[in-house]
């Protein structure tokens, strides 16, 4: 059945279009496959070309290293001209370079003076002699003479035993002494050994490398080709002074197949890569969403934590500009965040008169000096003009890469704490004054008894003087009475000085004054309290012994407060011995000063007050320094507590231990004044001018 002409023409046209489309698709696929094949072939050839260039570079570098190694042999005749030395050095070089078959030393006429053959093979020139290579040696040495450097010859085939042979290339090096040619050094290279020694083993395992002439004649080769494989070749020139060799590299890479290897692998690989990328993108997006959610929670938590802090936080960059402040810091200084962020030096909360000091401190910090761990006290000024004290702790601000980007500061408002400390210090001063007044009240009776003696003596001397003056009335020559009256006046002055000194000692002790630490010699501290100690010692029949070496350094302390500690400990020790019968044991009070355990940064002195009383029980020892605890019927229980507070304010420690054979020893430490502290102090308070009987270190009754 024949189709209508119009319908047949339409079907033909449609099939033609489909055929054209299929042809275009096949052509495109064929072109794609051909291009892929050509690309793979070009990649193989490019890799082979790179291997050829690397081989030439390796050989050239090896030849240059050999020339450098031969320099010692070139310069040897000028250092040690003996033939034995040259032979030893040449043999050593031949053992380290297997590609050399012979080394010769020749004169300027190319006459052989000395020669050494390689021990790895039989002598190469033993069969036909050295003259067969004389033209090559002459050519190489001509190049070396012209260039004043190494010269190479073209290769020469040398026959050896059993019908074998090898290609040999000559290297000639000129020997110069003071720019004058004195001879030549000729080295014979084996080209096959040169390839073996100077090329990496990985290169010759998968490729064949050979030296060839310009016409393609192979001179030497290394490696072997596989049978039935497509051969890829490349040739590179090895340009040497005097001669040029061709390095040929042959590869046995198989040519890529067309469809089985390229198109399915390409489509499958692209499909797998596309699906893998989509899966990785989906997983990365889910992971990113989780990280962003965790980061938002962490930021919200940190924001809530920073807003709840009462400690001010401030961050600055390496240039000193403020990059972050928390609400507590803004509330502390009275500024809004936008008024502080980006602000540099000086900060708006710095007092104007402290700009220079704070600027220097900030410069040291920005220079990398680590701040002290205990913090730095400073004074800030609020926006309203009110000043307040702060304690600043600073630490480096490190980013995620471990690099410092600035400094983070924690700021504490310590103005209230300082006010509490001042109130506590004032209360302590009042308690100390009260304790001193109570102590003086106890001493009032002793003073009245002690002052009766000098006052009675003054009255007696005054009455005697008046009687002497009355007895001279009517006499015209009273000169004989002058010595008696002078002696009486001196005795009156001595007794008046003694009474005044007793009163002055009590006055100095009771008087309140500001705490001032100054260097004071240990002996001066003991001498200052001795008059008051002796008053009670005489009443209680206590002997006082002082042990204080003359060479001890001064201590840095508040003189009045430490004197009160010494006097209180001495009084307690004497009262502890009041009930001891004098017939059984001597009541002895010992005051000692000796060096204490010190370290490289600070030296200490140890003050000890020892008695021979009944000692302290274990129950009382646990509460001994508790305020208002006392073992005396009339005591207040504040003495030892105040003493420990005073010693700890000086940085020392107050403790006690049992005395041997009985009694108690109370001891405390004071820091020794440094040389700088001694020089900074203009003068120390003078010690009272005591009678010589009160200054002695002997035992007093």
- Reported as a single tens digit per residue, the pLDDT across 16-66 is 655 665 566 556 656 666 666 677 778 778 888 888 888 889 899 998 998
pLDDT at 696: 26
State both tokens at 582.
Answer: 């004098």
pLDDT at 549: 87
- Reported as a single tens digit per residue, the pLDDT across 635-665 is 666 678 778 888 888 889 999 898 888 899 9
Neighbours of 683 (CB within 10 A): 6
Mean pLDDT over 178-182 rounds to: 84
Q: Which CATH architecture has domain 309-413?
A: 2-Layer Sandwich (3.30)
Using the predicted structure, report yes or no on whether residue 7 has a pLDDT greater than 70.
no
pLDDT at 346: 78
Using the predicted structure, report yes or no on whether residue 521 has a pLDDT greater than 80.
yes
Mean pLDDT over 54-83 rounds to: 84
Neighbours of 362 (CB within 10 A): 18
**Greater pLDDT, 114 or 445:** 114
Tell me which residue of 653, 634, 646, 664 sits closest to 574, measured CA to CA: 664
State both tokens at 435.
Answer: 């304790």
pLDDT at 151: 92
pLDDT at 522: 92
Which of the four pLDDT bands, split at 50, 70 and 90, describes residue 538?
A: confident
**Greater pLDDT, 178 or 143:** 143
Of the candidate ranges 195-199, 491-495, 638-642, 687-691, the one whose mean pLDDT is the lowest: 687-691
Using the predicted structure, report yes or no on whether residue 667 has a pLDDT greater than 90.
yes
In which residue are the tokens 């096959």 written? 192
pLDDT at 497: 73
Most confident range (mean pLDDT) of 432-441, 500-509, 513-522 is 513-522
Tell me which residue of 602, 670, 604, 667 sits closest to 640, measured CA to CA: 667
Mean pLDDT over 341-352 rounds to: 81
Which of the four pLDDT bands, split at 50, 70 and 90, describes residue 405?
A: confident
Which of the four pLDDT bands, split at 50, 70 and 90, describes residue 507?
A: low
Fold of 516-701: Heat Shock Protein 90 (3.30.565)
Using the predicted structure, report yes or no on whether residue 90 has a pLDDT greater than 80.
yes
Mean pLDDT over 492-521 rounds to: 68
User: In whole angstroms, what is the distance from residue 570 CA to residue 525 CA?
Assistant: 13
Confirm or reject CATH 3.40.50.300 for domain 65-251, answering yes or no: no
User: In whole angstroms, what is the distance from residue 533 CA to residue 566 CA?
Assistant: 10
Strands 588-595 and 543-548, bridge-based pairing: parallel
Burial category of 642 from C-beta neighbours within 10 Å (exposed 0-12, middle 13-18, buried 19 and up):
buried
Burial category of 297 from C-beta neighbours within 10 Å (exposed 0-12, middle 13-18, buried 19 and up):
exposed
Q: Order of strands across the sheet with 207-212?
A: 218-222, 207-212, 243-251, 232-240
**Greater pLDDT, 488 or 70:** 70
Q: 527: cis peptide before it, omega within 30°?
A: no
CB 172 within 8 A of CB 144: yes
Give me the residues paired with residue 212 across strands: 218, 246
Using the predicted structure, report yes or no on whether residue 435 has a pLDDT greater than 70.
no
3-state SS string over 601-670? CCCEEEEEEECCCCCCCHHHHHCCCCCCCCCCCCCCCCHHHHHHHHHHHCCCCEEEEECCCCCEEEEEEE
CB 379 within 8 A of CB 390: yes
Domain boundaries, the chain: 65-251, 309-413, 429-512, 516-701
pLDDT at 260: 47
CB 195 within 8 A of CB 211: yes
CB 591 within 8 A of CB 545: yes
Neighbours of 662 (CB within 10 A): 13
Mean pLDDT over 427-454 rounds to: 63
pLDDT at 423: 83
pLDDT at 481: 63
Cα-based distances in Å from 329 to 78, 223, 323, 337, 387: 83, 79, 13, 9, 15
Q: Do domains 309-413 and 516-701 have the same CATH topology?
A: no
pLDDT at 3: 47
Using the predicted structure, report yes or no on whether residue 275 has a pLDDT greater than 70.
no
pLDDT at 636: 64
- In the chain, % helix, strand, coil (3-state, to 5) comes to 50, 20, 30
Using the predicted structure, report yes or no on whether residue 281 has a pLDDT greater than 50.
yes
Tell me which residue of 471, 59, 420 sits closest to 238, measured CA to CA: 59
Global confidence as pTM: 0.37
Burial category of 199 from C-beta neighbours within 10 Å (exposed 0-12, middle 13-18, buried 19 and up):
buried
pLDDT at 689: 39
Which of the four pLDDT bands, split at 50, 70 and 90, describes residue 686?
A: very low
Mean pLDDT over 428-453 rounds to: 63
Of the candidate ranges 344-348, 417-421, 466-470, 494-498, the one whose mean pLDDT is the lowest: 494-498
Q: Order of strands across the sheet with 604-610?
A: 543-548, 588-595, 604-610, 664-671, 654-658
Using the predicted structure, report yes or no on whether residue 609 has a pLDDT greater than 90.
yes
Using the predicted structure, report yes or no on whether residue 169 has a pLDDT greater than 80.
yes
Using the predicted structure, report yes or no on whether residue 591 has a pLDDT greater than 90.
yes
* Cα dihedral 75, 78, 83, 84 in deg (nearest 10): -80
State both tokens at 488.
Answer: 């009486």
3-state secondary structure of 252: coil
Residues 386-408, buried b or exposed e (16+ Cβ, 10 A)?
eebbbbbbbeebeeeeeeeebbb
Rg (CA), the chain: 55
Q: Write down the mean pLDDT value for the chain.
A: 77
State both tokens at 59.
Answer: 């050989």
Which of the four pLDDT bands, split at 50, 70 and 90, describes residue 502?
A: low
Phi and psi dihedrals of 516, rounded to 5? Answer: -140, 110
User: In whole angstroms, what is the distance from residue 390 CA to residue 201 CA?
Assistant: 74
Q: How many angstroms from the chain centroid is the CA of residue 193?
A: 56
**Greater pLDDT, 440 or 111:** 111
User: In whole angstroms, what is the distance from residue 102 CA to residue 571 CA?
Assistant: 109
Determine which helix (DSSP H) or strand (DSSP E) holds 219, and give its type and residue range.
Answer: strand 218-222
């Amino acid at each position: 059945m024949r189709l209508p002409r119009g319908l047949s023409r339409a079907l033909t046209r449609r099939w033609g279009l489909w055929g054209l489309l299929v042809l275009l698709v096949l052509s495109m696929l064929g072109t794609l496959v051909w291009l892929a094949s050509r690309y793979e072939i070009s990649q193989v050839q490019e890799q082979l070309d790179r291997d050829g260039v690397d081989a030439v570079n390796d050989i050239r570098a090896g030849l240059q290293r050999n020339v450098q190694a031969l320099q010692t042999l070139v310069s040897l005749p000028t250092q040690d001209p003996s033939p034995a030395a040259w032979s030893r050095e040449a043999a050593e070089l031949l053992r380290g370079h297997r590609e050399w078959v012979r080394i010769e030393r020749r004169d300027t006429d190319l006459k052989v003076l000395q020669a050494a053959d390689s021990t790895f093979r039989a002598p190469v020139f033993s069969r036909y002699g050295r003259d067969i290579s004389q033209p090559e040696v002459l050519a190489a040495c001509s190049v070396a003479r012209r260039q004043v450097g190494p010269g190479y010859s073209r290769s020469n085939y040398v026959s050896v035993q059993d019908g074998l042979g090898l290609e040999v290339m000559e290297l000639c090096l000129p020997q110069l002494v003071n720019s004058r040619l004195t001879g030549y050094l000729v080295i014979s290279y084996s080209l096959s050994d040169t390839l073996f020694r100077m090329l990496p083993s990985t290169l010759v395992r998968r490729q064949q490398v050979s030296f060839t002439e310009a016409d393609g004649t192979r001179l030497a080769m290394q490696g072997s080709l596989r049978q039935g494989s497509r051969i890829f070749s490349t040739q590179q020139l090895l340009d040497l002074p005097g001669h040029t060799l061709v390095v040929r590299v042959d590869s046995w890479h198989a040519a890529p197949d067309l469809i089985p290897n390229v198109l399915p692998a390409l489509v499958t690989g692209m499909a797998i890569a596309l699906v893998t990328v989509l899966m990785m993108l989906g997983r990365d997006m889910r992971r990113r969403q989780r990280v962003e959610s965790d980061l938002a929670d962490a930021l919200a938590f940190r924001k809530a934590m920073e807003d709840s802090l009462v400690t001010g936080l401030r961050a600055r960059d390496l240039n000193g500009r403020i990059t972050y402040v928390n609400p507590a810091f803004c509330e502390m200084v009275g500024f809004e965040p936008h008024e502080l962020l980006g602000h540099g030096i000086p900060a708006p909360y710095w007092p104007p008169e402290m700009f220079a000091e704070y600027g220097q401190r900030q410069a040291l910090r920005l220079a990398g000096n680590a701040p002290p761990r205990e913090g730095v006290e400073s004074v800030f000024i609020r926006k309203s003009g009110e000043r307040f004290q702060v304690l600043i702790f600073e630490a480096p601000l490190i980013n995620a890469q471990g690099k410092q980007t600035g400094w983070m500061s924690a700021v504490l408002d310590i103005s209230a704490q300082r006010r509490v400390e001042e109130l506590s210090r004032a209360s302590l001063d009042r308690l100390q004054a009260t304790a001193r007044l109570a102590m003086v009240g106890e001493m009032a009776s002793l003073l009245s008894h002690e002052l009766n003696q000098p006052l009675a003596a003054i009255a007696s001397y005054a009455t005697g003087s008046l009687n002497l003056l009355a007895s001279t009335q009517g006499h015209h020559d009273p000169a004989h009475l002058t010595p008696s009256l002078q002696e009486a006046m001196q005795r009156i002055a001595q007794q008046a000085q003694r009474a005044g000194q007793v009163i002055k000692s009590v006055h100095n002790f009771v008087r309140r004054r500001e705490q001032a630490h100054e260097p004071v010699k240990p002996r001066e501290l003991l001498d200052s309290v001795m008059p008051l100690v002796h008053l009670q010692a005489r009443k209680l029949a206590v002997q006082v012994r002082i042990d204080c070496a003359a060479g001890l350094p001064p201590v840095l302390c508040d003189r009045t407060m430490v004197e009160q500690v010494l006097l209180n400990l001495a009084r307690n020790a004497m009262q502890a011995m009041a009930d001891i019968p004098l017939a059984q044991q001597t009541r002895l009070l010992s005051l000692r000063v000796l060096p204490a355990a010190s370290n490289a940064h600070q030296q200490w002195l140890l003050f000890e007050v020892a008695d021979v009383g009944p000692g302290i029980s274990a129950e009382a020892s646990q509460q001994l320094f508790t305020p208002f605890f006392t073992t005396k019927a009339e005591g207040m229980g504040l003495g030892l507590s105040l003493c420990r507070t005073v010693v700890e304010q000086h940085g020392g420690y107050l403790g006690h231990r049992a005395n041997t054979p009985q009694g108690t020893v109370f001891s405390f430490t004071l820091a020794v004044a440094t040389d700088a502290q001694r020089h900074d102090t203009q003068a120390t308070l003078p010690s009272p001018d005591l009678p010589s009987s009160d200054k002695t270190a002997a035992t007093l009754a």
